[in-house]
Amino acid sequence: MLYLHDHVLSYCLVDNNKFIMQNQENKIKVAIVGVGNCASSLVQGVEYYSKYTEKTSGLMADNIGGYSAANIEFVCGFDVDERKIGLPLKDAIFAKPNCTIVLNSDIHSEAMIYRSPVLDGVSPLMASYPEKDRFVIKDELKSTDLLVLGVDYDKDYVTTLRNEIIAILTESKAEVLINYLPVGSQLATEFYAEICLELGISLVNCIPVFIASDPVWEQRFIDAGIPIIGDDMRSQFGASIVSQMLQELAFERGHHVKAHIQRNVGGNTDFLNMEDKNRLKSKKISKENVIRAQNDIRGISTADSFLHAGPSEYISFYGDNKVANFRLELEGFMGAPVIFDAQLSVQDSPNSAGVVIDAIRYVYVARELGLVGALRGPSASTQKTPPEQMMFSDAIFECHALAKRELTESTRKQLRKKELA
């Protein structure tokens, strides 16, 4: 038996590579930190595919380890915005400043949204923008705003909120926590990572604060016996996966990449937050990791290649529509020049949700299998900065194996053998 967060997960070893597990409640209990556009699309999508079980178009995987969208249950959420705290999830996901396209308005989740400390989660720059476009911090939480108050922020109140959040997560029996905090929320992310460690909750870290890819943080989750996925969500058909595939294609077809430039424009709170250039360092690193990794995997130097990827501009008119532009300058046969220019336009948040709906199930199946630490394949498939970058085909192989509950050379190393009986 494997015990996590007071839940009993029964499992048996069928052969050397495959496990059959049984979730006795048949629900994956999920908490959300940051009930913004990405959370809205995820909740819409989970309820959509739960209701219309015959519709699988738009899903990367209908069944992961026996779990479909209908097995995902949202149990609570946390936010700092006064327009969301105290509301059920079915209403909070449509509150301002959320602006994502509504593809499913028939939402039933009664999971409540609770208050969270601000810490470094909100850029002070946002205060100069209209309320409909930015976060509006609840008055009682302003004393926890580290970026405004500095060392004078209310540490005792943060501790009070921490105890409150722990009680809520414990009562709701949350097993997976999704981190949707704004880019640059280093301390706020670490705040929730510590809570996950304390409670035995798996973290799906969708932002570029490096937890799963940081060896020290990962070791702490290994020691706690918890599987995690991270860092920085890679959208279903977004700029990062397109850049990766273009880079892979160039190399597989024998081309030298002289320059790979990816620029992004959008109008949601994610892009508004990134107008504060002090919050961008990790995001730029994360986005460029996707491109550079394909060189590193193949042992190809980047010394004579110009690589650039990152958010470029906030334009409120765009809303949740993100537009990415790509320019690749290549050298082909006998050094013949090849230039590739393209534009991609997507609805940003549904594009994100199509990946996270899988990450939730991958990490949960990993819990049942007794895997610990940062999952290599699912992280490489769903995140920009995983602990181990992979070629697309290798990451998909790992994901498909986990979806079938089969161990690979990679996952066997992460098996907590001492828990098997």
Instruction: Supply φ then ψ for residue 323, to 5 degrees.
Output: -115, 125
What confidence tens digit (pLDDT) does each residue in 386-415 have? 999 999 999 999 999 999 999 999 999 999
CATH superfamily of 2-235+350-419: NAD(P)-binding Rossmann-like Domain (3.40.50.720)
Angle between helix 348-369 and helix 392-403 axes, rounded to 10 deg: 50
Give the span between the Cα atoms of 185 and 192, in whole angstroms.
Answer: 11
* Identity at 71, one-letter amino acid code: N
**pLDDT at position 284, please?**
87
Give the span between the Cα atoms of 381 and 235, in whole angstroms.
Answer: 10
**pLDDT at position 253, please?**
98
Those residues of the chain that have pLDDT short of 70 are 1-25, 417-421
Domain ranges of the chain: 2-235+350-419, 239-348
Please give the CATH architecture assigned to the domain spanning 239-348. Answer: 2-Layer Sandwich (3.30)
Give the span between the Cα atoms of 179 and 31, in whole angstroms.
Answer: 9
Give the span between the Cα atoms of 98 and 145, in whole angstroms.
Answer: 21
Are the beta carbons of 209 and 190 closer than 8 angstroms?
Answer: yes
**pLDDT at position 6, please?**
41
Are the beta carbons of 130 and 190 closer than 8 angstroms?
Answer: no
Report which of 383, 7, 363, 365 is spatially closest to residue 169, judged by C-alpha positions. Answer: 7
Tell me, what DSSP letter sits at residue 201? P
> Is-cis flag, bond preceding 97, omega within 30?
yes
- Please name every residue paired with 29 in a beta bridge, in sequence order, or none if there are none: 73
* Residue 127 tokens, joined: 């205060």
**pLDDT at position 104, please?**
98
**pLDDT at position 311, please?**
77
Give the span between the Cα atoms of 55 and 349, in whole angstroms.
Answer: 20
**pLDDT at position 213, please?**
97
Give the span between the Cα atoms of 400 and 398, in whole angstroms.
Answer: 6
DSSP assignment of 272-306 equals HHTTSGGG-HHHHHHHHHHHHHHHHHHT---TT-E
Q: Determine how many CB atoms are found less than 10 A away from the CB of residue 421.
A: 8
